[in-house]
Amino acid sequence: MMFRLGLTGSIGMGKSTTAQMFVDEGCALWDADAAVHRLYSKGGAAVAPLGAVYPDAVRGDAICRDALRHIVSSETGALKTVEGIVHPLVVEDRRAFLAKTTADIVVLDIPLLFETGGEADMDAVACVSVSPEIQEDRVLERGTMTQAQFQNIRDNQMPNDEKCARADFVIVTDTIEHARAQVQDILRMIRERMCDA
């Protein structure tokens, strides 16, 4: 029996660090962002279909994310078109991963889990969370975006409170130690539930 745990959370909440903690505890991990990266890379399954619609997005037989971002932000309807091509390929990547893995607990790291209705495919969902102040500090410390860009991303994501309310587990990532203890507690509960099933 395999238990599918969805892992989600907004930008800067500590999801990638938390996902690694689950791996450290023996879980298998599938990462939606990494899947998209594979699909956009040279030889990736999204390159030809996206390139057929948006040839300017292809550079060196791969999808240039910056070029694609520009297209999506400047052309009405482009986001829906891109999602219509990429989302089924991401789902297929996840299906192939689940068919191969032998782990008893699989963590599926999906940033937009609730926004896409993906929670329906999970046995439970864990949401990472931290205060808005810490979230903003973390994102801006990366030096990859401005405060305005961060605000725009946060405003377009489901509010953190709503994600936490819909999740089965909330992992507060204020410190590494606190987050790790919560991950261990969640896995203990899941494994007990699996033994009782």
pLDDT higher than 80, residue 197: no
> By C-alpha distance, which of 124, 29, 51, 37 is closest to 89?
37
- The answer, as to whether pTM is greater than 0.75, is yes
* pLDDT tens sequence across 108-156: 999 989 988 999 999 999 999 999 999 999 999 998 888 888 888 888 7
* pLDDT tens sequence across 76-91: 899 899 999 999 999 9
- Split at pLDDT 50, 70, 90, the class of 157 is confident
Alpha helices in 61-175, H assignment, sequence order: 65-74, 78-100, 132-141, 147-156, 160-166
What mean pLDDT comes out for the span 174-193?
96
Q: Which domains does the chain have, with CATH numbers?
A: 1-27+110-197 (3.40.50.300), 33-102 (3.40.50.300)
- Contact indicator for 26, 32 with CB cutoff of 8 Å: no
**What does DSSP say about strands 124-129 and 62-63: parallel, antiparallel, or unpaired?**
unpaired
Helix pair angle (176-196, 15-24), 10° resolution: 50
pLDDT higher than 80, residue 181: yes
